[in-house]
Structure 1
Amino acid sequence: MKLAVLTDVHGNAPALKAVLAEIDAQSDIDHIYCAGDMIGIGPYSNEVLSMLFSRPDVSMVTGNHDEAVLSLLLGETYPVSHHASKEHHHWIAEHLDSAYIPMLKHLPRMIQQTTEGHSLLVNHYHIKPSKLLDPICLDPFSTIIEPTLPAIASLFKEYEAELIIFGYHHPVHFFKNKQTIYLNPGSLGCSKNASAPYAIIDMRTENLHIHLKEAAYDKASFLASYDRLQVPDREFILKAFHGAST
């Protein structure tokens, strides 16, 4: 069995389309896991959610941006920690097809399962077990830490799995010790290169084999859409998340 892993699509439909095309071209990928933040930052929420929710081979968990936007749509308390993103999230919420609201609402924060004898945990980022049911306004996701094996292993010490998949922090994380592989394939939608990172996991042998991949796409056209669509906070977003000069 082979799996594909992606995370932090962030409303970047062209990048997601390129990754899904590569995955489908391989023909032997059995399932796709998405570790949250499908929406927010990029402008193509509906297109991204259409691509993901329409596929029976995709499992998703929610991320902080998904949940912050949902809090606005559901009339719940918006997280104070996300205050700088509130105007942008309002714009995302206003343009979101309402059909996706219940779909997002019913996604889990964590997937734990055993596949082909290998135990997996998929989450957007670490949440203490005591905070798993906390609303986003209480900031259940742990603070991003230094991407090193000792730090990540300590962060996830309450959870046991052969493979822990996560996102949130946009650079690639690929660490392993004797017990666990910790994998963040990197933000698919916010890479500073003209390519979208993802990973393939080969489970056909006793040991898991991880292959880090990148799919090329027309990033210049995507970035131009921020001005065309008048996305709020676009100057900051283009510089901070896409490495573009403004």
Structure 2
Amino acid sequence: MIGIGPFSNEVLDVLFERNNVKMITGNHDESVLALLNNEPYPESRINVKPHHEWIAARLKKEHISNLENLPRILNPTIHEHNLHLIHYPMKQSFNEDHISEDPFDLTGMPSQKNFSVIDGISIFSLVCFGHDHSTHHFICNNKTFFNPGSLGCFNEPFARYGIIDINKNGFNVMPQYVPYELNFYVSELSKTSIPRKEIILNIYR
């Protein structure tokens, strides 16, 4: 929800004003919160630190409080189907690790091989995740893993997300593409002073 762009407050304004949306944290959210709370910052992301410091310095106080109250994992049950929603699948022993320990990076790239050794998720039939910016949809150990791809880090003028249609007989995973004004976003991004701006702009070129 924050990071990879200078408009974190605008995004969070929209999300937190809704009462029908549930959210989880990811590595950018947790890294910025670590800076704000004077906690250890992930050494593996030290080159991103100026970017996160810029965001932290401008984040609205109410958004900081709201982000701190978000969970890392959601496990809803819908029509007797157990879902596991997490920024990136990981072994159960890593679930509570601080962001400075890079828990989202310990599993390896999305694959049947890497995900087959994850414990603590046997009761789930569907695991939805992000972190890796590419689209993934495969079955491993009788469960479906789905990542619609990054919503914003995409060099085509479409926002990607997924709809999961669930009923008592099963579920259907439907990737979605919604057009948006990519050129306008890139133009506005170019006017900012955010660190690593050129690296971000290269994502959209």
Question: Which range, TM-score by smaller chain?
Answer: over 0.9
What are the within-5 Å matches in structure 2 for residues 34-45 of structure 1? 38-45=1-8
Aligned match of 2:113: 151
Task: State the aligned residue count.
Answer: 204
What are the within-5 Å matches in structure 2 for residues 192-231 of structure 1? 192-231=155-194
Aligned match of 2:92: 129
Give the letter aligned to residue 162 of structure 1. S
CA shift for structure 1 position 235: 0.7
Aligned match of 2:49: 86
CA shift for structure 1 position 63: 0.4
Q: Distance in 1 between matches of 2:93 and 2:107?
A: 18
Instruction: Give the 3 Å change call, closer, same or farther, for CA 52–152 of structure 1 in structure 2.
Output: farther
Per-residue CA deviation, residues 99-129 of structure 1 (Å, 9 max, x unaligned), is 1111111111111121111110000002322
Q: Which residue of 42, 60, 72 corresponds with 1:109?
A: 72
Give the letter aligned to residue 121 of structure 2. Y
Q: Is the 1:41–1:237 Cα contact (8 Å) retained in structure 2? A: yes
Q: Does 1:69 align with 2:36?
A: no
Q: Which runs of 5+ in 1 are unaligned?
A: 1-37
Aligned match of 1:50: 13
Percent of matched pairs sharing the same residue = 39
Q: Distance in 1 between matches of 2:45 and 2:115?
A: 27
Q: Is the 2:151–2:159 Cα contact (8 Å) retained in structure 1? A: yes
Q: Which residue of 100, 118, 135 corresponds with 2:63?
A: 100
Aligned match of 1:233: 196
Aligned match of 2:145: 182
Runs of 4+ in 1 over 4 A off after TM superposition: none
Give the letter aligned to residue 60 of structure 1. M
Q: Is the 1:126–1:155 Cα contact (8 Å) retained in structure 2? A: no
Q: Is the 2:138–2:146 Cα contact (8 Å) retained in structure 1? A: yes
Q: Distance in 2 between matches of 1:40 and 1:144?
A: 22
Give the letter aligned to residue 174 of structure 1. H
Q: Distance in 2 between matches of 1:143 and 1:132?
A: 11
Q: Distance in 2 between matches of 1:193 and 1:184?
A: 17
TM-score by length of 2: 0.93
Question: Which secondary structure state, in structure 1, belongs to the residue aligned with residue 164 of structure 2?
Answer: strand
TM-score by length of 1: 0.78
CA shift for structure 1 position 93: 0.7
Question: Which secondary structure state, in structure 2, belongs to the residue aligned with residue 84 of structure 1?
Answer: helix
- Specify which structure has the bigger relative contact order, considering alpha-carbon pairs within 8 angstroms and separated by 6 or more residues: 1
Per-residue CA deviation, residues 42-68 of structure 1 (Å, 9 max, x unaligned), is 111011111111111111111001000
Q: Is the 2:74–2:85 Cα contact (8 Å) retained in structure 1? A: yes
